[in-house]
Amino acid sequence: MNLFSMPLLFGAPQGAGGQPASGMEQIMSFAPFILIIAIFYFLIIRPQNKKQKETQKMLSELKRGDKVVTVGGVHGTIVSIKDSSVILKVDDNVKIEFNRSAVATVTSVAKEEKPEARIEDKRSETGETSTES
């Protein structure tokens, strides 16, 4: 017989004087396991869940014009968004379709144009001048 199987043969751990271990001693014997589980939760599980929620939020907020990087390292600008995929413009006349989950990061967010800015752009293109006072 080896030394590791001996305590199993003799039964429950005994306290001082051959008495069975008290409830407090039994709880204290489980304390290291509880501590290890708490450490795993706060150092591994909780941060992973938090990062997953942030990624899901980022993917749901994608919009046309955002500059993104995929998990494969492809840089591009979002041209179109479908339910489960995005179409990226990576070069002139080159568009590639990716799953939404393939987007790793958003490098710059598309700016919302104000209606007044679009009117000013049209005026400058046609050569009109503003006569506002």
Could you read off the pLDDT of 71-81 as tens digits, one per residue?
999 999 999 99
- Please give the residue that has the higher pLDDT: either 55 or 11: 55
Rounded CA gap, 78 and 110, in Å? Answer: 9
What does DSSP assign to residue 18?
G
Among 37-41, 55-59, 95-99, 118-122, where is mean pLDDT lowest? Answer: 118-122
CB atoms within 10 A of CB 104: 15
Q: What is the pLDDT of residue 29?
A: 87
